[in-house]
Amino acid sequence: MCPGFLSWIRSNDKVVIVALQSQAENLVKAAGALVELIANYENLAEKQKQIKDFEHEGDQIAHKLFNVLDELFVTPLDREDISRLTSAIDQILDYTEGTAARFVIFKIAHPTPYMLELAKLLLSASQEVSLVVSRLRELKVSKNLIEHCRNISRYEHEGDAIYRAAIALLFETDNAIEIIKQKEIYENLEGALDRCADVADVIEDIALKYG
């Protein structure tokens, strides 16, 4: 195999990995902005727009990545794994933006402590997603990848416990409209954490396949 062909393959590898890293880093920014929105509950429309911008940027990165995959003959990982990973990260971002939008659309007067707890877990899980994606070049070090995946799963399990406690408390109230509004926000936050767990599943599959 000629050196020029090897160089072309490595260049394509870099394009894919860099795009995945950009997507994951953009997710961390969005999750951080959501924590800021809930923790400092003011200027909601402005903060929601910022998160929407992150979501739009994420869509562009994902679209570019799918286009690159269509054009490449050789990819650094299986196409299916790259596609699953890209889609899962994009869905986390969608749920994150959907949560922010609901605070504005539903005119939530005050977020609950449970909402802030879930958002902080989402940020922590997103940071782990970014770390694990940044280490995809080190597939031989599969132990590190698995460790990050376990951290993501732990955050997702913690989120499940908080979600159940929040819903139990919510249904002790008799305000049906407020129940519907808050339940949607909790479900979006839990959905985002579930998609983080999906990322962990994909990475574990990759680590086992290439480690």
Burial category of 196 from C-beta neighbours within 10 Å (exposed 0-12, middle 13-18, buried 19 and up): buried
- Beta carbons within 10 angstroms of residue 31's beta carbon: 29
Q: Which residue has the higher pLDDT, 87 or 13?
A: 87
How many domains does the chain contain in total?
1
Per-residue pLDDT tens digits for 187-201:
999 999 999 999 999
Mean pLDDT to the nearest integer, 151-179? 94
Tokens representing residue 40 in the block: 């400092």
Q: Say what the pLDDT of residue 74 is.
A: 59
Mean pLDDT to the nearest integer, 160-169? 96
What's this model's pTM, rounded to 2 decimal places?
0.90
In this structure, the dihedral spanned by the alpha carbons of residues 11, 12, 16 and 19, taken in order and rounded to 10 degrees, is 50
Q: Rounded CA gap, 59 and 53, in Å?
A: 10
Mean pLDDT to the nearest integer, 15-32? 93
Mean pLDDT to the nearest integer, 165-179? 92
- CATH for 95: 1.20.58.220
Tokens representing residue 139 in the block: 């597939």
Tokens representing residue 26 in the block: 């953009």
- What distance separates the 2 farthest-apart alpha carbons in the chain? 72
On whether the CB atoms of residues 93 and 58 are closer than 8 A, the answer is yes
Q: Say what the pLDDT of residue 4 is.
A: 38
Per-residue pLDDT tens digits for 25-67:
999 999 999 999 999 999 999 999 999 999 999 999 998 888 8
Mean pLDDT to the nearest integer, 152-169? 96
List the one residue out of 122, 121, 119, 138 whose CA is nearest residue 21.
138
DSSP 54-82: HHHHHHHHHHHHHHHHHH-SS-SS-HHHH
Q: Rounded CA gap, 18 and 68, in Å?
A: 12
Handedness of CA 184, 89, 60, 24 (dihedral sign): positive
Report whether pLDDT(139) > 70: no
Give the N- to C-terminal CA distance of the chain in Å, as an integer.
Answer: 25
Q: Say what the pLDDT of residue 5 is.
A: 30
Mean pLDDT to the nearest integer, 120-144? 84
- Domain residues for the domain of 138 are 3-210
Q: Which residue has the higher pLDDT, 7 or 205?
A: 205
Q: Which residue has the higher pLDDT, 154 or 71?
A: 154
Report whether pLDDT(128) > 90: yes
Q: Say what the pLDDT of residue 104 is.
A: 96
Q: Rounded CA gap, 112 and 24, in Å?
A: 27
**In the chain, pLDDT over 90 holds for what percent of residues?**
67
Q: Say what the pLDDT of residue 8 is.
A: 32
